[in-house]
Structure 1
Amino acid sequence: MGDSWRVNSSVEPQFVSKLSPSADLAIAAFLILTGVSSVCGNGTVLAVYHRKRRKIRPAELMTVNLALCDLGFSVLGGPFFITSSLSHGWVFGETGCLLYGLQGSVFGIGSLITTSLISLDRCLKICCVRYGQWINNRHALSCIAGIWLYTVFWASLPAFGFGCYGPEPYGTSCTVDWWSIQTSNTHRLYVYLFFCFGFGFPTVTIITSYVAILLKVHTSNRALASISCSAVSNTNTKDLRLAKMAVVVCVAFLVAWLPYASVSLVSALLSRNDPLAAAPSAPPWTLNRTSAESPERAGNWSHASLSGDLGPVSSGPGSSLSPVLTVIPALFAKSHCMMNPIIYQLMHREFRDSLYEMVFGRAKADGRRKRRKTFSTSVQSRAPRDRL
């Protein structure tokens, strides 16, 4: 079946899929599912908060920015990946690879940095009482502007020659070329800086924030398991409930992005010492190809990539790992954009109430809140008698 799959002859060798046609079809189906889910879910988040825009709070502005990043990643990036998977090769050329890499970095880093700031906001809200008294929407909007400046800065550097974008090892998507650390000291420096400030910084922020939250809860004798205890004030209860939701959001982030970043960096580092990967005439991903090309073409492509003639899009030596082992973490990372709306729906009561009001109207939403409050009051009033 692989030999009968036709690939456009204009597709460069490095952009031909290294996966089987059936795997590419499965990936396309998965991406369509996650893309539709992301557009619907993040679109709903934006619609809910647009309705309450006059009463929106700083933390909710961060949620809006996260939804914008995830939605942009799905709308601007998903169709390219899906089309290439169905075509069994990246059909948008070097310019398309550069643009796809740019948008992926902008929205990807933006999502990661926003998630880290959400965790930091939860930490400060619980650990520093005065923080919640002075933080306002102006501060949140300033942070959001800083996020976009930060992401555009790191994402655009390869367009100016510091670093580069290139095809993923499986061939049908583009990203920061982690494997260019084998060919250029400048690219190697960019990869290390990108990993530290694009992934390492938000990861350390997230972990530190929630360690601080757990220590604060522990020292205050307020275990997370007793979050509904009547001794805890309503404000603290709400803060801790939001903290639990943010923990889930950030765990989802780590599960989605940590394997991808780790596999990409480790495979790039390992391939530096791989004599086959360093050989100009035989890049690893040319050894497992589903379409035939002439040896002259493959050799010329490899020589051009090593000499840097392709500009900001690199085609240098690739991963030392199997393409299958690199595509699975990439799919986890790209599917992260659909997870946050699901988490909000399951864990954020106020979001559910706002969504219910948007769909069914204010009268029904108020009645639903009243019934829930009545039920909660009756349960609390029965609790002392149950203990007797």
Structure 2
Amino acid sequence: MALLDEDIAFHSNIPAPLDIMVAVVYSIFGICSLFGNSTLLYISYKKKHLLKPAEYFIINLAVSDLGLTLSLYPMAITSSFYHRWLYGKTVCSVYAFCGMLFGICSLTTLTLLGMVCFVKVCYPLYGNRFNSVHGCLLIACAWVYALLFASCPLGHWGKYGPEPYGTACCIDWRLSNQHTTARSFTLVLFIFCYILPCCVTVASYAGILVTVHASRKSMEQHASRQMHITSVQTIIVKLSVAVCIGFFAAWSPYAVVSMWAAFGHIDNIPPLAFALPAMFAKSSTTYNPIIYLTLRPNIRRVMHKHRIPGTCQTKVTGKTSLTDMFFTCRHVLPPESCDRLLLEGVRIRPGLMSGADVSDTGYAGQDFWRS
């Protein structure tokens, strides 16, 4: 009887043509993820002596996304083609554990990256103290945080099991619906692995955008000529918006369905309602490298230098705009001194600043965002 129930649970509950479509989409995601994240790691290796501490988070994101790709996609693709889960109960738990571990680590890394960028841009006096040791410690914390939540179902707080659509595994949503203990784990997971990272990420990038806008307004009050948004500011705006949109698009559907399964009538939820959010969540392995490969000109230049397909050279000029001067000055002097010097036409050279530390801030050295 138990074997029969297991066989039913591991049989696909969505139409076979849709399973084929899911397998094809996963195959595309897998290829894009392998290429994108491998490219990020290759570029990081080529410029390993020039890496900024904040870029460690991008490397860790690529590692966790690759882990997700290699551990999940092959089994998900083959199972979808065969219209059932092929690998048994034990491997199902391993699959679900890897999905939780790498997925939460990627989420946490994105959140930490946003926080670090916020501190460096909005509070450069403190941000300039951020070094490689701090970066490695925060990355270690991200892995411990992910491991903590991924291990809970193995310790019988919650449970891993087949997804309702039958060809993949994750949290046993049916158990979450029926037992208070399992439901409490789902709720804690929702709060600490979705709501909290979501709020912190949005707040961080909103703070960055506000700082960019306020800095520009401050300069316009003292400048006699019309100013324009610099390329650095444009990159910051694009990166901030892209990260937030990608974050919401990938994880929100799954978060909503998990709450629906835990607190609603799970029998009324169609299996496809679980399959589609799972696809969105897995898409994060693809959009993360796309964001950084397309919006970071320094990465595009390295790609062009090593003749990686699909890249073009980024043109960089040596001109320094008034806004760039303001950002540079702002990291070195008090605001009133900065305003006075700029009004007098004094140009603050980046060479006067503390090299590697300042180049991490994003505005001052501009290396994190553009160079």
1:15 maps to 2:14 = no
Q: SS at 2:286's partner residue?
A: helix
Q: How does 1:1-388 map to 2 (within 5 A)?
A: 12-222=7-217, 238=232, 241-242=235-236, 244-271=238-265, 318-359=266-307, 372-373=316-317
Does the CA-based 8 Å contact 1:126-1:239 persist in structure 2? no
Which letter maps to 2:259? L
Q: SS at 1:175's partner residue?
A: strand
CA deviation after TM superposition for structure 1 residue 233, in Å: 10
Greater RCO, CA 8 A, separation 6+:
1
- The CA distance in 2 between the partners of 1:246 and 1:65, in whole Å, is 19
CA deviation after TM superposition for structure 1 residue 216, in Å: 2.6
1:271-319 CA distance string (max 9 Å, x none): 1xxxxxxxxxxxxxxxxxxxxxxxxxxxxxxxxxxxxxxxxxxxxxx55
- The CA distance in 2 between the partners of 1:251 and 1:164, in whole Å, is 30
Q: Which runs of 5+ in 1 are unaligned?
A: 1-7, 224-228, 272-317, 378-388
CA distance change for structure 1 residues 50 and 230 in 2, over 3 Å: closer, same or farther?
A: farther
1:105-153 CA distance string (max 9 Å, x none): 0010011111111111221122102133100111000000111111011
CA distance change for structure 1 residues 319 and 32 in 2, over 3 Å: closer, same or farther?
A: farther
Which letter maps to 1:329? P
Count of residues paired in the alignment: 309
CA deviation after TM superposition for structure 1 residue 159, in Å: 0.7
Does the CA-based 8 Å contact 2:186-2:258 persist in structure 1? no
Q: SS at 1:58's partner residue?
A: coil
Q: Which runs of 5+ in 2 are unaligned?
A: 219-224, 321-371
Does the CA-based 8 Å contact 1:126-1:240 persist in structure 2? no
Which letter maps to 2:303? L
Tell me what 2:366 maps to. Answer: none
- The CA distance in 1 between the partners of 2:82 and 2:123, in whole Å, is 54
Q: TM-score, normalised by structure 2?
A: 0.77
- The CA distance in 1 between the partners of 2:217 and 2:64, in whole Å, is 35
Q: SS at 1:359's partner residue?
A: coil
Which letter maps to 1:13? I
CA deviation after TM superposition for structure 1 residue 88, in Å: 0.9
1:223-274 CA distance string (max 9 Å, x none): 9xxxxx996898xx64763453143123212111111111221233111xxx
- The CA distance in 2 between the partners of 1:54 and 1:327, in whole Å, is 43
Does the CA-based 8 Å contact 2:201-2:244 persist in structure 1? yes
Identity of aligned residues (%): 33
CA distance change for structure 1 residues 35 and 202 in 2, over 3 Å: closer, same or farther?
A: same
Q: TM-score, normalised by structure 1?
A: 0.74
Which letter maps to 1:357? K
Between stretches 124-133 and 348-357, larger displacement belongs to: 124-133
Does the CA-based 8 Å contact 2:65-2:106 persist in structure 1? yes
Between stretches 17-26 and 338-347, larger displacement belongs to: 338-347
CA distance change for structure 1 residues 189 and 123 in 2, over 3 Å: closer, same or farther?
A: same
- The CA distance in 2 between the partners of 1:244 and 1:59, in whole Å, is 18
